[in-house]
Amino acid sequence: MDGDFLKLLPEHPMRGAMPTATPGLPDGTAVEATTVLAFHYRDGVMMAGDHRATAGNMIFSDLVDKVLPLDGESMMAIAGSPAVALEMARTLETSFEFYRRSQLQPMSLRAKTRALAQLLKNNIPATLQGFGTVVPIFAGVDRLAPEKPATIFFYDPLGAEFETTGFAASGSGSESVRSVLAFQENWGNPKPEAMSVKQATLFALQLLTTAARFDSATGGVDPIAGRYASVYTLTSDSITKVTAEEQANWWRLTSKKGKS
């Protein structure tokens, strides 16, 4: 036993309790969403993910949205099983709205993060079977403590919660992303927390492109096909989507500068 939780999954006796294959795919393969990331930029938090979902060595889809706004103050990026993760997101969205309407105030950020941790704990049986693993990133602002900036949290598959001061990444391409983010945070100019929304968006696209070069399960960015990324910003006021058109325009301008 080498202590690697994910390597132990195929040997666990619970694995045979339920089918692990997705209909239409080879036995033992399940759909997985790949690389997502979040980091602090000048106005708040930027969260981004590519659009690829894989099933074993097959590309299942290049149209998956992995960054999911939950309400006006929090959002979640998903890596792992999209079916389970999307159900978790719907549950959180409904829970947050029900609390707001019934208590006439928003749920605290601490309560929101614990709600996600509980959903992950409830999902442990599927995680142990190896077909329902979810490793999300969560970001939110606390309306009950408006002086605090937006915060990033990441989780392990069993629901352990960690608050990060700078950035987080999850999925198969996360090692490349974390390496570049760590370099940029320590020695880059500008540092991520000093970037404008345009600079941060281009940086996020470059991170996903870098991950795709070293990880075949990451879709990256394909300007020729018009395929960019799911990119959202979270500030103290709102959650805003950076549209594909904005990404394309900024990418094109940067490419022209590089060639001139």
Residue 19, domain member (yes or no): no
Residue 151, domain member (yes or no): yes
Note the pLDDT tens digit of each residue in 122-149: 999 988 887 788 999 999 998 877 778 8
pLDDT at 7 over 80: no
Q: How far apart are the first and last CA of the chain?
A: 55
Residue 84, domain member (yes or no): yes
Note the pLDDT tens digit of each residue in 177-209: 999 999 999 999 999 999 999 999 999 999 999
Q: What is the CATH classification number for the domain harbouring 93? A: 3.60.20.10
List 22, 29, 34, 127, catalytic entry: 34
Residue 13, domain member (yes or no): no
Q: Do the Cβ atoms of 160 and 117 come closer than 8 Å?
A: yes
34 assigned to active site: yes
| pTM score, whole prediction | 0.84
* Residue-by-residue DSSP string for 33-94: E--EEEEEETTEEEEEE---EEETTEEEES----EEE-SSSEEEE--B-HHHHHHHHHHHHH
Residue 16, domain member (yes or no): no
Residue 10, domain member (yes or no): no
pLDDT mean over 105-113 = 93
Residue 34, domain member (yes or no): yes
% of the chain exceeding 90 in pLDDT: 60
Task: Please tell me the predicted confidence (pLDDT) of residue 15.
Answer: 41
* Residue entry with tokens 């790949």: 34
Number of domains in the chain: 1
What residues make up the domain containing 82?
30-259
236, two tokens: 């103290």
Q: Do the Cβ atoms of 84 and 134 come closer than 8 Å?
A: yes
Residue 173, domain member (yes or no): yes
pLDDT at 76 over 90: yes
